[in-house]
Chain A
Amino acid sequence: MSQSMHNADRRVHRSLRRGMAVTSILIAMGLMTSAFAAPPAASGTATFQIRVIEAAKGPAAHLDPRLGTMKRDFKPFKGQFNQFKLVRQQTLRLAISQQGGVQLPTGKRFGLKMLGFTTGKVRRIRYEVQMPRTRMKRSVAPGARTLDVIRNGPKLIIISTTVR
């Protein structure tokens, strides 16, 4: 009697151990699967496309062909400026806490620091604009654009930043 109870007990233990092993394997497989299915490391980065544009007033209107898609963006400036030239273009891929930037024709630097992402329905990109006298934190929807405008003598420097 006691021998049969002992055997039954051992069977239960074996069964439990087997069950736990199978469960462990399944969990491990699940973890591996989710690891492979996870977005690449690049998901922790944001891509900033920066265009530095020089606006001037001249005898004839001129729009740099490379700025064709931005034509309507220049509408607010057209009262005083009729020439728009792309002077620099740079794409930065920044991970959280990374910094980058572009040199402006003024000699100053337009810096960016990637701060992170917001949670919620839309994963907004949070970054900081760093200029010699200005620091500004922005939360921007993927694809949204800002135009930072500064004066450079008789010209304007327009810094277009698109992030996603």
Chain B
Amino acid sequence: MTMTDEQQMLLMAFADGELTDEPEMLAEAQALMAAQAIAASAVSDMQLAKEALRLHVMSERRTADADLSMVRGRVLTKIPAPKQAQKQDVSLISRLFSWTQFFDTGQLGLAGGVAMAAVLFAVVMTQNQVTTPGERGIEATRDSVMNPGSGGTSAPVAKVQHDDDQPGVIIEDMELDGGTVMFEEGENPDEAMIIWHIQPDEGGAG
């Protein structure tokens, strides 16, 4: 069973605690979660991802100093158009556009801006350069370490081999059949790129 875009947005708003002043919508979200295990699972996943991002991003990157005013536009230009745009499935891209439309309809307070800002902030904040649409996908760490880790004790680390002014990881293309994918770039050059796969209809892998 899948949820509609409207239901997912409602749940996102619920997960972000944005419905406290909207008793009708709050009741609707609670009813949806009570009726569908998928909905409850989706909210749980959203809260989990949001909390992890909040702890990692918001607390450590001095968000007070960050200018988020252009976040949305900048992120949208960084994400390549989905190849399967005609599919009805929910993807990161389509959801971002849904959110955009949602904002434009004046329901800003319901859209879970904090979570979105955290996610988008994570994607773009450490980018020092802005890419043109289609030039490349979502970018990630500039440097990382590798873990040969043949088991047993900790293995020595080796630097990532890239001196071409490109990030360590570039997402070139993505196809989703439902759910959401969020990207979190490493805070430091030596950290890995984290890719969250959130599937609202499963407790497991996407």
Chain A residues with CB under 8 Å of chain B are: 49, 51, 65-70, 72-73, 75-80, 89, 104, 106-108, 110, 120-122, 124, 126, 131-153, 156-157, 160, 162, 164
Contacts and interface: CB of A to CB of B under 8 A. Distances in A.
A134 B171 CA distance: 13
Q: For A65, A72, A89, which residue has the most chain B Cβ atoms within 10 angstroms?
A: A72
A146 B141 CA distance: 9
A143 B161 CA distance: 6
B164 A122 contact: yes
A144 B167 CA distance: 9
A116 to B, nearest CB: 12
A149 B195 contact: yes
A26 B61 CA distance: 63
Given A73-B191, A147-B195, A152-B203, A134 B161 contact: no
A51 B195 contact: no
Interface in B129-173: 140-141, 144-149, 151-164, 166-173
Given A69-B155, A134-B174, A144 B206 contact: no
Contact of B169 (A80, A107, A140, A152): A140
A144 B197 CA distance: 19
Q: For A138, A140, A145, A156, which residue has the most chain B Cβ atoms within 10 angstroms?
A: A145
A151 to B, nearest CB: 5
B115 interface: no
28 contacts: A67-B149, A76-B53, A76-B194, A77-B52, A80-B51, A80-B52, A104-B204, A108-B205, A110-B205, A124-B166, A135-B175, A136-B181, A137-B174, A139-B169, A141-B144, A141-B164, A141-B167, A144-B144, A145-B146, A145-B193, A148-B195, A149-B196, A150-B204, A151-B48, A151-B198, A157-B205, A160-B147, A162-B144
Task: Tell me what chain A mostly uses at the interface: helix, strand, loop, or mixed.
Answer: mixed
A51 B155 CA distance: 13
Contacts of A147: 192-195
A69 B190 contact: no
A149 B194 contact: yes
Nearest to A109: B205
A60 B94 CA distance: 41
B18 interface: no
Given A131-B197, A134-B197, A151-B48, 17 more contacts: A49-B147, A66-B151, A68-B153, A69-B156, A73-B191, A76-B53, A108-B204, A132-B205, A134-B177, A137-B174, A141-B144, A145-B141, A145-B169, A151-B204, A157-B204, A160-B192, A162-B147
